[in-house]
Structure 1
Amino acid sequence: MGTPLPADYKRIVQAYGGGLFAGTLWLLAPGYPDAMYDLVAQTAEREEILDGLWEAGEERPRELEDRDVRLVPWGFDEGAGHFLYWLVRPDVEPEEWTVILNEGRGPLWEATPVSCSRFLLDVVAGTTTSFYFSDLDDMVDPERRYRFVPNAEILG
């Protein structure tokens, strides 16, 4: 991928692996056999998709105006299609990367200046400032709300 990954992300993947948090948020993990859930495969796929959208005239978010900035996906909401990325800047350490969400079925972007682990914790705890996960209690069965389910259990 050409870039180091944040230590908090590596700790989460080491402890849990890829899988589903809070009944809605998939954490990508490197090396997963299914490309949809593999960090490396999704990085290449999302770069291609976004490049195509921008070439077709979709407006880039202001956070991406500097051409040295790169997006690396780390998670997604399968139902809504939202993708979560790290906003990777060459002069910023991985632990300082901003989480930026791309609306799944639209052109909107939302930046949250937190780590991926903080973002996940805030979503699970119901304390997120993200517009896209603020009504999680209305969308997710309470039985699944505070659970993590590994890819192997869901996908076999």
Structure 2
Amino acid sequence: MTDLTTLTALCPPPASVRSAPDWSQAENTLGTGLPEDYKQLVATYGPGQFCGFLTLYQPHAPSEWADLAGPMPERLRAQIEEVRQAARRPWPLPHPPENLLAMGVTGNSDYLFWATQPFDVPDEWTIAVNEALRAPWFTYNGTVTEFLVDVLSANVRVPMFPSDLLDGGITFTPAELRSTATATASRTSVSTHVIREWARAKGFDLPERGRIPVEIMQAWEQANPR
């Protein structure tokens, strides 16, 4: 049984998806090939969100905030070291910033990266996750499909992911079916720390960690339109 077969049994994909991206164009834009498991994953699921929380970047996604071939991956790569050096005591990175390629985001602004080593062997790339470009970092020695299988089956616990991630069931919601409120989390490039500080200033009762409630995300979006 392949990892994708295991994933689709665990989390059924949509009955139909839009046509696969132009991989040659995307790879030319990025200047690198992409893992075959990721291409199969995109062809099977299309754009959308796992468990209402985790969005994988894809070439030509409906939003530029989730476009693998858009500005976000390079923008985040440039910001990694800026955020680190701005700290009073810079934390160690699991990989050099130039080897990190952003490929996903969560509703709490946890970013998923490929560790692109060896650069010319994308099928050997592994996964790194962090919280809003800050420490801590979590590393996973496997493909993104293997990562999804292990996270969604609760075999792997990512420390910065909410403990109730799977409480609502293991689901995939296509991008076109997601509500505006849910879509907010994947399109925002603002740190959740900023949203939390804004919410507390407005009198919302919000814990330091965990999933930001939809009503608070809605209120923040209304108060800070793009």
Structure 1 length-normalised TM: 0.81
Deviations 1:96-121 (A, max 9, x none): 11100112273211111011001111
Confirm whether residue 63 of structure 1 aligns to residue 95 of structure 2. Answer: yes
Deviations 1:90-148 (A, max 9, x none): 4562111110011227321111101100111112212114223472xx24542xx2111
AA partner of residue 101 (structure 1): V
What is the distance in 1 between the residues matched to 2:99 and 2:115?
A: 6
- Asked whether the 8 Å contact 1:123–1:133 carries over to 2, the reply is no
**What is the match of residue 43 of structure 2?**
14
- Asked whether the 8 Å contact 2:49–2:55 carries over to 1, the reply is yes
Aligned counterparts, 1:4-153, within 5 A: 4-41=33-70, 42-56=72-86, 58-64=90-96, 69-78=98-107, 80-90=108-118, 93-104=121-132, 106-133=134-161, 135=163, 138-142=164-168, 145-153=169-177
Q: Which runs of 4+ in 1 moved over 3 A?
A: 54-60
Percent identical pairs in the alignment equals: 28
Count of aligned pairs between the two proteins: 148
What is the distance in 1 between the residues matched to 2:156 and 2:95?
A: 21
Partner secondary structure for residue 61 of structure 1: coil
- Asked whether the 8 Å contact 2:110–2:129 carries over to 1, the reply is yes
| Structure 2 alignment gaps of length 5 or more | 1-29, 181-226
Q: Which has the higher contact order (CA 8 A, sep 6+)?
A: 1
Alpha-carbon distance change, 4 to 105 in structure 1, aligned in 2, over 3 angstroms: closer
Partner secondary structure for residue 114 of structure 1: coil
- Asked whether the 8 Å contact 2:61–2:67 carries over to 1, the reply is yes
Partner secondary structure for residue 178 of structure 2: helix
Which structure is higher in strand share?
A: 1
Alpha-carbon distance change, 32 to 105 in structure 1, aligned in 2, over 3 angstroms: closer
| Structure 1 alignment gaps of length 5 or more | none
What is the distance in 1 between the residues matched to 2:67 and 2:175?
A: 11
Alpha-carbon distance change, 7 to 148 in structure 1, aligned in 2, over 3 angstroms: same
